[in-house]
Chains A and B, each alone.
Chain A
């Protein structure tokens, strides 16, 4: 049982580099996931323009009727966002853990080219362990 519906990772130019679905109803093909990722990248940027005060870093949380979307942007501009159930706990912690896995298994992989789609087996393996529901509950400690 996964704690999230899906995970997207976007590079700094807005291109999708990783997409994993953990149980949404209905299939989403590659083109759609690419389009959604670029759309999110643009809206994240536009939301910074509409801020009434300075220092806005973009959307952190989007709440909809049937799901929540949590987004984390690293200092380098890489965005990680997860679709989860409304009011699911520990999602920010989960995003930080996923970021840590990304730095360990993707960035330190000598065969990985920056900004390209992620094809690292160890990343997939560890990621599927981390998003298990019982593991996410342990993040609180």
Chain B
């Protein structure tokens, strides 16, 4: 079963085609931050574009974000009104087990979340009124797979470093694509 049905294949081109609907909008000012965590809670990537307020130092911030997601997933799995058989709160959930949330909104920001079957969690924090970002997150995940996972010099489970020249490609692609995607909404 294909997990990401309908996503564009990226074998041949260096720059994958952006999802349909993204225009050449102005400078994207909708995305605030991006986090990528792996299954163990290690923050593989943290990028910020617009963050006027920082309440905690980066380590604490990453831990808080991961903890929030962990608790929110337990919460949604338990409070789900459509399934009768639910586990207990506090039991760690496997990726894909139980109902998971994909977005929450506050008055100042919107947090979009995606968890892959391998436990990679992608979090994109955008402006409060952007639309559904699930396609954008799938697209970012595909970039991660193409340029990070398939890179033989990358050690899985470590933060994505700006060391190898291949990663230069990844960053520039990621930045350009994000600007395109989020400025469209």
B78 A32 Cβ-Cβ under 8 A: yes
A112 to nearest B CB, angstroms?
Answer: 27
- Which residues in chain B, 59-109, are within 8 Å of chain A measured between CB atoms? 61, 64-65, 67-68, 71-72, 74-76, 78-86, 89, 99-109
B81 A25 Cβ-Cβ under 8 A: yes
A49 B56 Cβ-Cβ under 8 A: yes
B85 to nearest A CB, angstroms?
Answer: 7
- Which residues in chain A, 30-67, are within 8 Å of chain B measured between CB atoms? 32, 35-36, 39-40, 42-43, 46-67
B138 to nearest A CB, angstroms?
Answer: 15
A123 within 8 A of B: no
With a CB–CB cut-off of 8 A, which chain B residues contact A56?
A: 106-109
Stretch in B10-18, B45-53, B162-170, B173-181 with 4+ CB within 8 Å of A: B45-53
Known: A26-B83, A49-B55, A49-B64. A63 touches B101 (CB 8 A): yes
B33 within 8 A of A: yes
Distance in angstroms between the alpha carbons of A51 and B51 in the assembled complex: 9
A36 B79 Cβ-Cβ under 8 A: yes
With a CB–CB cut-off of 8 A, which chain A residues contact B78?
A: 32, 36
A73 to nearest B CB, angstroms?
Answer: 11
A5 within 8 A of B: yes
B32 within 8 A of A: yes
With a CB–CB cut-off of 8 A, which chain B residues contact A89?
A: none
A23 within 8 A of B: yes
A25 B100 Cβ-Cβ under 8 A: no
- Which residues in chain B, 87-137, are within 8 Å of chain A measured between CB atoms? 89, 99-109, 111, 125
In the complex, which residue of chain B has the Cβ closest to the Cβ of A62? B104
B53 A43 Cβ-Cβ under 8 A: no
A39 B75 Cβ-Cβ under 8 A: yes
Known: A39-B75, A50-B68, A53-B53. A67 touches B109 (CB 8 A): no
In the complex, which residue of chain B has the Cβ closest to the Cβ of A63? B103
B162 to nearest A CB, angstroms?
Answer: 23
12 A-B pairs in the complex with CB atoms less than 8 angstroms apart:
A5-B81, A24-B80, A32-B89, A47-B106, A49-B55, A49-B64, A50-B64, A56-B109, A57-B106, A60-B107, A62-B101, A69-B79
Q: A50-B111, A54-B108, A62-B76 given. 19 additional CB < 8 A pairs?
A: A25-B84, A26-B84, A36-B79, A39-B75, A43-B68, A43-B75, A46-B68, A48-B106, A50-B55, A50-B68, A52-B33, A52-B125, A55-B108, A57-B106, A61-B105, A64-B80, A64-B100, A67-B82, A69-B79
